[in-house]
Amino acid sequence: MGPSMTPDFSFISPLSIERIAHPDTYSLIPAKDLDIKKQHIQSIVDSCSEPEIYSWLFKEMAPNGYTHEHANGFVNWAKQGWEENRYFVFFILTPSQEICGAIDIKSNQIEKGEVGYWISSHHRGLATNALKNLRKVAKRAGYKLLFAQTKEGNIKSKSVLRKNDFIEDSTYLFDVKCCAKAYKIEL
Ligand X SMILES: CC(C)(COP(=O)(O)OP(=O)(O)OC[C@H]1O[C@@H](n2cnc3c(N)ncnc32)[C@H](O)[C@@H]1OP(=O)(O)O)[C@@H](O)C(=O)NCCC(=O)NCCS
Which residue number, 1 or 61, has a Cβ lying nearer to ligand X?
61
The least distance separating ligand X from the CB of residue 146, rounded to whole angstroms, comes to 12
Which residue number, 6 or 15, has a Cβ lying nearer to ligand X?
15
Q: What single DSSP character describes residue 97?
A: S
Q: Which residues of 158-171 are buried (b: 16+ CB within 10 A; e: fewer)?
A: bebbeebebeeeee
The least distance separating ligand X from the CB of residue 177, rounded to whole angstroms, comes to 15
Say how far apart CA 81 and CA 70 lie, in whole Å.
16
Strands 113-119 and 145-150: parallel
Contact residues: ligand X, CB under 6 A: 20-21, 52-53, 56-57, 116-119, 124-128, 148, 150, 154, 156-157, 159-160
CB 90 within 8 Å of CB 31? yes
The least distance separating ligand X from the CB of residue 129, rounded to whole angstroms, comes to 6
Which residue number, 39 or 159, has a Cβ lying nearer to ligand X?
159
The least distance separating ligand X from the CB of residue 40, rounded to whole angstroms, comes to 17
The least distance separating ligand X from the CB of residue 13, rounded to whole angstroms, comes to 22
Which residue number, 79 or 156, has a Cβ lying nearer to ligand X?
156
Which residue number, 52 or 169, has a Cβ lying nearer to ligand X?
52
